[in-house]
Structure formats: structure tokens, C-alpha cells
Amino acid sequence: MGLGFLGIRQRRAWITRLGVLPECRCDGIGGLIVNNLCHTAIKIGAKEIWLEMIVGNAPAQKLFSRKGFVRKKTLVVANRSSSLQEDYGTASPTTEIESIKRDRILRLLEGRTGQPNWRIDSETYHKLLNLHGFAIERADGSQGWICFNLSNHRLDHVFFDTIQGDPAIVAKALLREIISRHPDKDVSLENIDADHPLCNEFSELGFHVAFKRVEMVKALGDARTGEHATH
């Protein structure tokens, strides 16, 4: 009638693939599944539990809010097809480009401030076998780096960061470079913060927004899963 999966990483848990059959909805089954997953996370020792839901899913948001989850941010999923023939250019000839080896990529990822989304946290990248990356420094002094997983048909698990300069300009330069290097690959950008200035310029690089997610979190301190958390 319904199911849900629970992931655990150290003191952090997340709910994924939660669903209830249409004919069984509005019977409290979703709430029971959430309760059970929260109880399990507490028993394992998690201190907080995260989840994502598609923007516009009002019943799901009502359920999760009732169970104590607090909305954190909106995330964007955007894709670019390799079938596009447009030339989006490469980094400027005056841009210095340095390849980054796997060990350094992992150190950069682990040095990020704040709490990355669970899909792009450091442990996820440790499991990727074909991790690539490079850093750029533009003529105006702006700097940034990017990493991604290279599979047969696409680039995924893309993460980019600006060290100095305009985040939108740096991000576009980084993405132009990977598009130029891998014109036969689709590119998937997953869980980009909707507030990132690049989101206003996806079309300039041939990306289209597939959908948006709402990220929510609940602090765990005891087994009272229906209690609203403060976070």
C-alpha cells in the first residue's frame, strides 16, 4: 500500500522514494511510514532527518510539516542534451585552466562550508569511480572549480564553486568548458540552490529546468515523531 526508504550517513538521515498507492491515500498510511522511518533513524543515532519533495505537492508538504519538518530551500534540477548543436563557446583564451586530481577534488568537497544537500555531500563523491574536475582563473581574477562524474552517456553529480568573482560568470565559464570538452555527453545539474544566480541564465547554455524540489529537515531528539522540530 505504501513504502519509503531511509538512508543513514553518520548522524544524518534522509527519507527517499516515499509513496502510497492512489487508492490508499488519505488513510494515514503516509504518516505511519514517516513515523516509522523517523523512529528507525533515532534508534540508529541520527540527529536530523532530511527529505525532498517536488514543488507543488501540497498534500506531501502538509504531511511533512505536520510531522515536524521545516522547509529549508528550493532546489533546481536542470538538464542539457548533447543533441544540441549550438556553439556555446569555451573559456576565454586568457583563462588559465588546471586539471584537478581525485584526491584534491575530495579535499575541496570536504572543505565546503555549510551543509551540502545529501545528494552532493562528500560521501557521495567518495563512491564515484570516474570523478573528474578542473579549476579556472579568468583574466579579471575571478576563480572557481568544478567536478563531475563521467559516465558513458552523460556528466552527472556536477558540483561547482566560486572562489572569487561573480558566481554566475564563473559558473558559466566552468560549464562552457565541460560542454566543450564533452560535446557528446548530456549534462545533468541536480539540486542547484534556486537562489544561485546561474539559475536565471540556464537557457544561455542550453539547459532547461526539469523540475524543482523543496528540501525539508527535522531535528531528531526523541521518538515523538509528530512533534515539530526547531532547526
Q: What would the pLDDT profile of 129-138 be if each residue is shown by its tens digit? A: 999 999 999 9
Give yes or no: residues 61 and 30 share one domain. Answer: yes
| Short-list 38, 124, 30, 115, CA closest to 73 | 115
Phi, psi (degrees; rounded to nearest 5) at 198? -60, -30
Beta bridge mates, 48 = 12, 219
How many helices and strands (H and E) does the chain possess? 5, 10
Query: Model's pTM, two decimal places?
Result: 0.86
Give yes or no: residues 68 and 89 share one domain. Answer: no
| Average pLDDT, consecutive stretches of 10 residues, N- to C-terminus, the chain (231 residues) | 90 91 82 95 95 94 95 96 74 80 96 86 93 95 96 94 96 94 95 95 94 96 47 37
Q: CATH number, domain at 134?
A: 3.40.630
The CA-based dihedral angle spanning residues 229, 55, 199, 160, taken in that order and rounded to the nearest 10 degrees:
50
User: What is the largest distance, in Å, between two alpha-carbon atoms of the chain?
Assistant: 62
Give yes or no: residues 64 and 126 share one domain. Answer: no
The whole-number pLDDT of residue 131 equals 97
In a domain, 77, yes or no: no
Give yes or no: residues 93 and 199 share one domain. Answer: yes
For 47, the domain range is 2-72+213-219
Give yes or no: residues 108 and 181 share one domain. Answer: yes
